[in-house]
Structure 1
Amino acid sequence: MKNKEYWLKAIKIAWPSVLESFFLALAVIIDTIMVSRLGPSAVAAVGLTNQPKFIGLTAFFSINVAISAIVARRKGQGKRKEAHETLLTGFILSVILCIIITSIFLFKSDKILELAGSNPDTHVKSKEYLDIIMGFSIFSVISMCINAAQRGCGNTKIAFYTNLISSLVNVVFNYLLIEGNLGAPRLEIKGAAIATILGTVVASIISFSSLFSKKSYLSAHFIIEKKIKAKARSLITITKIGLNMFVENIFMRVGFLATALLAAGLGTDEFAAYNVGLNYLSLGFAFADGMQVASVALTGESLGEGNKEKALLYSSICQRIGLIISIVLSTFLFIFGKDLFKLYFKEEHIIEYGVIICRFIMIIVLLQISQIIYGGTLRAAGDIKYTLFSTILAVTFIRTIVTYILVKIMGLGIVGIWLGILSDQFSRFVFLSLRYRSKKWLDMKI
């Protein structure tokens, strides 16, 4: 194998992130399987909260992408103090925004869920779930922020351990609280939400404690010893990258929400099948996100060193690993698609929806994994305006317009929904792969 040492380093950085994302996605799948014992309406109710919840967390996802990219670049430049300033500034910004966003959701959750497409079958359950998840989102925000910084400096193992243990806590308390097993109270939807929060509490504790490890590049002791403070220059840099990412995410969520509303309009059973399909699609995202983390850390650090050839090599290796993963996942979905939906539903007509959905997902993941890694590489290099443009065009416009025409005008139902999703993934793959191959990103500065 050519460049064996680069492959080994890429795998070393990638595997904790890949497994971390996989276990997070798996926990959501198990979560939904447990909730499905309460019926398709319960699955639909939890699914309704997904887009509002992710819209609420968009600001933090954006800040975290910026933190990872900046910390990776500063480490490559040998600027450890500035890397710590980035973490501290991003952390304080995240906490302030979390207080504001949580307050908005708690006061306006009824209206938010109505806009998301709730109906009499799902509204009350959705509100119970969303109020708990967003009310205690501070723990998730703390964990995500610290883990993002750790990933940026190449420490992907802490995020892996954090989220693995968090997922295990979530699953255990799901078992106890949803149906009231082993003498625990039967809380149903509320139990699923509480289990998720308990998992994030544990995650935040583990993430915070990682800053006190003597081996950690990012260290609370270093912050105290050097009297590091949040700096305006760090805030400006985070804002510059994060704001573009925030706008990108908002437009992306608008597209996702439009698709969810069209799916909800097909009926409770179709919407339940659609949400389970998203769970399985999230497996593709999980693997892609893990490889994206590796690409961001390795590409960003290489560009910080001024080594363009090395950055190009690492990004190429991450793409190849992602392609192998996507082929394996696609094959798995082809063989076991029907059985996967039987884990959730007994109703034969919903299972048949699932077979159709899995056929689409097995094609989508081949595009999804590649385009996410391309996007991560471009953002790590600072090419954020192009990724913003491509996301807005693909998700907000192409996906929404295609899905609307196929569902509302042509009446293709669940097939129209997933053809719309496929059109989005194909478009982003084309846009981002062309930009990556142009190599313009290699000359950008952060």
Structure 2
Amino acid sequence: MTKKQKNMTLFTLTWPIFIEIFLHMLMGNADTLMLSQYSDESVAAVGVSNQILSLIIVMFGFVATGTAILVAQHLGANEKKTAGEVSLVSLAVNLLFGLLLSLSLAIFNKPILKLMDLPESLIDEASSYLVIVGGFAFIQALIMTAGAIMRSYSFTRDVMYITIGMNILNVIGNYLFIFGPLGIPVLGVEGVAISTAVSRILGLLAGIIVLLKRIPNALPFKRLFKLPHVHVKNLLKIGVPSAGEQLSYNGSQMVITYFIAVLGTEALTTKVYAQNLMMFIFLFSVAISQGTQIIIGHMVGARKYEDAYHRCIKSLKISIIISCIMAIIFSFAAEPLLGIFTNNTEIIELGKTLIYLTIILEPGRSFNLVVINALRATGDVKFPVYMGILSMWGVSVTISYVLGIWAGLGLVGIWISFIADEWLRGIIMLKRWQSKAWIQKGFIPSPATKVASNK
């Protein structure tokens, strides 16, 4: 284990991840905020399009997640050669997968939007956004994979700097195409899409340069087609179930978005504004969970199971405390914050109620973010998926319909369903971690290690 790996702490890993995720969220909020000056309908169109794109990103995430876990475990076991092989294989796999999904979005975007029961008046703008951003979705697949590799090698600051650059470019592009200074044509949603795609392309180029500079001899490009197939198998073994939990979540959210679309464009817009603010509340928990995953991955690779157990519990306590404090702060500032996006009093009043409910929601979400990432880092990936599917669909979707549509509570009823889902899953995940059943899942050895152990 290198000196850098020995000196890893939750804080040194987490603060760059925090800023990186904050800026990713800021990029999405910049689109929403700037578009809100253009049209509330455009906000709703982009919001639904991003719901679809988030599902696609989860599909890319199964390779990125597998990469992060395997590379961290192999580095923890001081298997640097295998870590490099896994990194290269993951980039190749996600490139092919990304190209396939990008092509599908570019061709089938309108049928997909119609399945979401999007109002006819929003179809054209949403379609334009999906064609451009979705057509270049493979770029995001490579960005996610390169980022996962750099984080596992502890180069979290580099990912942060790249994200800063992408955000600056995106905001500049949004300003040019939405407000049209110096005679530049006002393109609205299409302009936001172009800005997003271009900033990601330049971000990927920067990521590749940094990756080659940081680990110049780790990626065996000349042996790409000769690398052991077991690397792909291991990526799928961890990545597919890990993505299954996120895929189930995003799928259930798409169904719930369909319910909200039934309530009308105003409800859709309120959801987008409220969730944009909520992202900043659970941002700390996301950063803590990702930093914890890296540390626990290294610990599991080094067979330090007891250290890994206590690391998760400590991270969970920190996450719960911070998320509670942030939810309370945002609830006091809900009205002026929502006023940044819109002057529609009905949207602001309903949005305030949703933000108040996050005081109950966010601690439950902390359990899921931290503990599920910890379980993934150990290789215990199937249990969270099974429980997630049962809770998300059996609790969240079901209660959303019953309270939101049937009982007529609207978005308030739907937010209550989110609370029930997060807390139920969170408690179940904590019990799983405390049982230490994940120790049996253990470290996935490299092919060389397997051969040595057989001898």
Check whether TM > 0.5.
yes
Aligned residues: 438
SS in 2 for 1:178: helix
Residues 117 and 287 (structure 1 numbering): CA distance in 2 closer, same or farther, change over 3 Å? farther
Q: Quote the offset at 1:111 in angstroms.
A: 0.4
Structure 1 segments, 4+ long, off by >3 Å, are 5-8, 224-230
The correspondence for 1:221, drawn from 217, 220, 234, is 217
Partner of 1:204: 204
Which whole-Å deviations, capped at 9, do the CAs of 1:95-115 have from their partners, x for residues lacking one? 111111111111110100011
* Contact kept in structure 1, 2:282 and 2:323, CA below 8 Å: no
- Any unmatched runs of 5+ in structure 2? 445-455
CA distance in 2 between counterparts of 1:11 and 1:442 reads 25
SS in 1 for 2:120: coil
The correspondence for 1:399, drawn from 393, 396, 408, is 396
AA of the residue aligned to 1:346: N
Partner of 1:297: 294
Q: Quote the offset at 1:85 in angstroms.
A: 1.1
Partner of 1:360: 357
CA distance in 1 between counterparts of 2:329 and 2:109 reads 38
CA distance in 2 between counterparts of 1:182 and 1:441 reads 60
Partner of 2:138: 138
Partner of 2:75: 75
Which whole-Å deviations, capped at 9, do the CAs of 1:381-423 have from their partners, x for residues lacking one? 1111111012111212210000010122211112112112222
- The equivalences for 1:16-415 within 5 A come to 16-213=16-213, 216=214, 219-224=215-220, 227=223, 229-415=226-412
* Contact kept in structure 1, 2:80 and 2:218, CA below 8 Å: no
Which whole-Å deviations, capped at 9, do the CAs of 1:130-151 have from their partners, x for residues lacking one? 1111111122111111111111
Q: Quote the offset at 1:362 in angstroms.
A: 2.9
* Contact kept in structure 2, 1:88 and 1:230, CA below 8 Å: no
TM-score (norm 2): 0.92
CA distance in 1 between counterparts of 2:344 and 2:54 reads 29
Q: Between the two proteins, what is the percent identity of the paired residues?
A: 24
AA of the residue aligned to 1:106: A
CA distance in 2 between counterparts of 1:220 and 1:59 reads 28
TM-score (norm 1): 0.94
Q: Quote the offset at 1:235 in angstroms.
A: 0.2
CA distance in 2 between counterparts of 1:105 and 1:135 reads 6
Q: Quote the offset at 1:288 in angstroms.
A: 2.3
Q: Does 1:421 align with 2:418?
A: yes
Structural RMSD (CA): 1.9
CA distance in 2 between counterparts of 1:123 and 1:89 reads 38
SS in 2 for 1:315: helix
CA distance in 2 between counterparts of 1:118 and 1:409 reads 20
CA distance in 2 between counterparts of 1:294 and 1:55 reads 23
AA of the residue aligned to 1:152: S
AA of the residue aligned to 1:53: L
Q: Quote the offset at 1:374 in angstroms.
A: 0.7
* Contact kept in structure 2, 1:52 and 1:116, CA below 8 Å: no
* Contact kept in structure 2, 1:14 and 1:294, CA below 8 Å: yes
Q: Quote the offset at 1:123 in angstroms.
A: 0.8
AA of the residue aligned to 2:9: K
* Contact kept in structure 2, 1:345 and 1:351, CA below 8 Å: yes
Which whole-Å deviations, capped at 9, do the CAs of 1:155-200 have from their partners, x for residues lacking one? 2112211212211211121111122134432110011111111221
CA distance in 2 between counterparts of 1:207 and 1:123 reads 34
SS in 1 for 2:212: coil
Q: Quote the offset at 1:83 in angstroms.
A: 0.6
Which whole-Å deviations, capped at 9, do the CAs of 1:46-70 have from their partners, x for residues lacking one? 1111221122222211111110000
